[in-house]
A and B are shown apart, each in its own frame.
Chain A
């Protein structure tokens, strides 16, 4: 029911929204919860386990009951708190966790079985038969108990991540936070003021008390003006600080577009990483529910929430309201209601000494012992002076005192400290370096002291930043807190809920203690108390107080569970912002990419790179046809392949040679300028890291190539060696992979093709095998390397990347007129297998130079990375698995990479395993499959027969073991 003249909503801006298919009206400034209450809707959801009818409990982000699905289709979001969601025109909300309409949920039958459904029920009941668990029990239990459902489709909404930096971060925009922000800004600090709710002011927006002689909301407005005037405060409303991390890093979630109709340009949420030199925690406090029997009916809510709905949203959550409190503070609820013309049925105060503060009926020393009302509260029964009285009421406001919001102070491992006088946990000293808790979260409850605390906290932050504290006086405000009593639970018949969100009652906690789960951490896991979306904000303290009683310990001995980030639930979408699709895995394209795709080449991933798999020609229906043709083309004419993805590292300096001698196993200082040498690189533990060719362009200038896969690793390794192990060497290097486009021109007609485009023709004498140097192609300066990964007479030509596309198209076009053309990764792989050249399929991190037959490449004349460790016993034994070639010789002709090798008669079991296959390909040159693999003592077994077994694909092939170099072992064709 809306109350005229109350609230901070904008009555000139009505909005209409839908809840469970029905249309309702609200105003701008309403939350979904306040607008529904204004429309008399009290039933807002069903509880997790028992499917009990539930209404709203709170007016903030700690809400455990009123969780709803917002939106529809792929973009719907489950478990949104109606107390946080603001209404806007066209908002679609639905209740969740029900079968059938909300008021006739079929799963409400669970409530009838509640005597059996206590803590541990599932563990004890669904033990047998064991195999029924996955197929039967679990799906049913999951269907029956739960929250909202995801759409199952990719979220079309936009989300963002952002960074912010400030001198002082003020967490919470209530009176403490506002004063802290103003003090900090006037002291010269750059300030971020983050507020969980849509509006600044905190409790001042929900209370009738005055500050500086003005209504709270008016004073807040003036403070915001004053903050703006400083020009140093960034206001971040709808922003919850979710976590405190090392070094002054804070996580924050901003609801950017969730409170308005979808706009394509606006993200829904933004996940912030705020870097603050100092921080003031002004997070306030949360009111404590009381666990009395049947305390979960719609219409029973926190007293502070009742005041919020009345004073901030202009809504009376009932027409005849009862208050159940343990403290003076809560009596203000009755006074506010009476002031707004709402009937107060009674005030029940557990303290015998309580006195009425206004004109209402007070039951001092009374307790609510049960309630009635199926879908909403209709009456409560109170025990007072030994008698029981029933009171008709449609709303019960309860207050068990306050719990300081200490959560953030625990995020780095500190435990909160029990304050016996306040009966509350307070932040531990220096819990988060650079963070000062102030105000209600530090146990300071009255407004006047909060204002002062805000100033003082900001001053201490300014001092830490060596800034001068401004002269600032706190405005006048109430310094009354009154007295209070602790009342954690009320004994009586019926269930008394502690954790509304997970349906945990006092009985469950007692059962936990009785069954031996006496530690608070065990109790939490056994009962699931505190494990719902509200993370126990409403129940933790009461539950551990009850556990303390049940185990005969005090609260400090019982302790709390660990408060971990995030403070409020963070959507996965916000965490994944920017990392979906190509954001998660960006694409790297070579300069020949569009020319390759234009020829219909399917592209395959090589790390982030995309490379052409093969180039289908007219009439070809399988990749093998294309691959066979391309291999033959290279063997008989000329083929073109983009090899730019290989890592290219430009190395210069007077000590470049010494540096290469140290990182490669073989010598480079002896290499003449204008020549290229194959190099092998080890890790310090003696295993092969990478291989590739390195060209010496001049005395002090080299270009190293790495494999595509290891380019980043090699660069990092070189940086480590240069900076950490050999800072004495005067050498500099940089990755130039992106700067050069490089193409292999391979085949017997390669030189003929090159001479058609080079400005100065080359011949065998000036450009022998393994030579390199500058060339000019169509007037463009480039580099030419006579190297071969195919075993043919071949070159790699490199030009600055901007000419890559043009050169590639020109090379392919010319090759095609010579009976050649482009070849892809499949053909490249077959060509190199025929030649026994290794890739990272072979040097996979567990092989040594000895294993691949390159132990002689480790120079005896010098030290190098990995040399000592490579000589360790065990790394040079013939019994190791050594690189071999494999040829099928039986009736089955297929080889598969990943197959294992066995003696022909041996059973193909793990005990008999003698090796494995790393690379296979069908060789059109030999008309058979060829394979490379590792076999125990393989080098001494050439000519033997082994059995190749692939259990996964069901392939068993007899093979002959041979030298890994199948094609042209003398290398005559390469030297051409």
Chain B
């Protein structure tokens, strides 16, 4: 398997570390409540099909990537830098 890092190009999967579902990008506000925080920290879908995951280019440029991937076919549909277009939900 290979992942196309937007900064480095097509690289072997062993350069990357997976963090899990991209829900980690949607950090709730501090006062969002226990339920929202519990969901953010602990609850994960395990879809058979298309899912969005976070991968870190650990042995490369250090970029965090948002990878849209099909867990059945292992096809990678989209790779984007998480730095681009992330909604901020927390307050300073």
Contact = CB atoms under 8 A, between A and B. Distances in A.
B41 A685 contact: yes
Contact of A869 (B41, B74, B81): B41
Interface string B18-38: 010000110110101010010
B64 A724 contact: yes
B48 interface: no
Interface in B54-84: 54, 56, 58, 62-64, 73-76, 81-83
Nearest to A249: B1
B86 interface: yes
Ranked 3 nearest A-B pairs via Cβ: A246-B1, A246-B74, A723-B83
Given A724-B24, A724-B54, A719 B92 contact: no
Nearest to B86: A727
8 contacts: A245-B1, A247-B1, A716-B58, A719-B63, A723-B81, A724-B83, A725-B27, A863-B90
A249 B2 contact: yes
Nearest to B41: A685
Given A246-B1, A247-B76, A716-B58, A723 B63 contact: yes
Interface string A6-23: 000000000000000000
| Contact residues on A (Cβ < 8 Å of other chain), bracket | 20 to 34
Contacts of A248: 2
A869 B27 contact: no
A868 B81 CA distance: 27
B2 to A, nearest CB: 5
Interface in A844-901: 862-863, 867-869, 872
A96 interface: no
A868 B38 CA distance: 11
A727 B86 CA distance: 8
Nearest to A865: B27
Contacts of A727: 82-83, 86
Given A868-B30, A869-B41, A872-B34, A724 B82 contact: yes
A751 B4 CA distance: 53
Contact of A724 (B25, B40, B58, B91): B25
A684 interface: yes
Most chain B CB neighbours (cut-off 10 Å) among A412, A684, A723, A867: A723
A974 B60 CA distance: 42
A248 B76 CA distance: 12
B56 A716 contact: yes
Contacts of A724: 24-25, 54, 64, 82-83, 86
Contacts of A862: 92
A641 to B, nearest CB: 30
A412 B28 CA distance: 39
Contact of A863 (B30, B34, B75, B76): B30
Nearest to B65: A723
A723 B75 CA distance: 25
Contact of B17 (A163, A247, A716, A728): A716
Nearest to A735: B62
Contacts of A868: 28, 30, 32, 37
A340 interface: no
Interface residues of B, number: 33
A728 B88 contact: yes
B37 A720 contact: no
Contacts of A719: 56, 62-64
A720 B73 CA distance: 28
Interface string A643-678: 000000000000000100000000000000000000
Given A719-B62, A868-B30, A684 B41 contact: yes
Contacts of B86: 724-725, 727
Interface in A270-302: 273, 275
Given A724-B82, A868-B30, 15 more contacts: A163-B12, A247-B1, A247-B74, A275-B2, A719-B56, A720-B24, A720-B64, A723-B64, A723-B82, A724-B25, A724-B64, A726-B88, A727-B86, A863-B90, A872-B34
Contact of B56 (A249, A720, A725): A720
Given A728-B88, A867-B30, A720 B1 contact: no
A725 B19 CA distance: 14
B85 to A, nearest CB: 9
Interface in A824-862: 862
A243 to B, nearest CB: 13
Contacts of A863: 30, 90-92
Nearest to A724: B82
B40 to A, nearest CB: 8
A917 B30 CA distance: 35
Contacts of B32: 868
Most chain B CB neighbours (cut-off 10 Å) among A245, A247, A867: A247
Contacts of A163: 12
Interface in A405-424: 412
Contacts of A684: 27, 40-41
A720 B19 contact: yes
B62 A869 contact: no
Contacts of B12: 163, 273, 275
Contacts of B81: 723
A658 B92 contact: yes
Nearest to B54: A724
Contacts of A726: 88
B60 to A, nearest CB: 12
Contacts of B30: 863, 867-868
A245 B13 CA distance: 12
A247 B75 CA distance: 7
Interface string B41-61: 100000000000010101000
A534 to B, nearest CB: 29
B2 A247 contact: yes
A341 B12 CA distance: 56
Interface in A694-725: 716, 719-720, 723-725
A660 B72 CA distance: 40
A738 to B, nearest CB: 15
A136 B10 CA distance: 55
Contacts of A723: 63-64, 81-83
A727 B89 CA distance: 12
B83 to A, nearest CB: 5
Contact of B90 (A249, A273, A658, A725): A725
A246 to B, nearest CB: 4
Contacts of B90: 725, 863
Nearest to A245: B1
Interface string A163-181: 1000000000000000000
Nearest to B81: A723
A862 B90 CA distance: 11
B41 to A, nearest CB: 5
A28 to B, nearest CB: 38
Contacts of B75: 433
A274 to B, nearest CB: 12
A273 B11 CA distance: 13
Interface string A760-795: 000000000000000000000000000000000000
Contacts of B91: 863
A190 to B, nearest CB: 15
Contacts of A869: 37, 41
B52 to A, nearest CB: 13
B92 to A, nearest CB: 7
Interface in A251-281: 273, 275
Contacts of A716: 17, 56, 58
A134 B73 CA distance: 43
Contacts of A433: 73, 75
Contacts of A273: 12
B77 to A, nearest CB: 12
Contacts of A685: 41
Nearest to A165: B10
B10 to A, nearest CB: 8
A737 to B, nearest CB: 15
Nearest to B69: A246
A46 B40 CA distance: 61
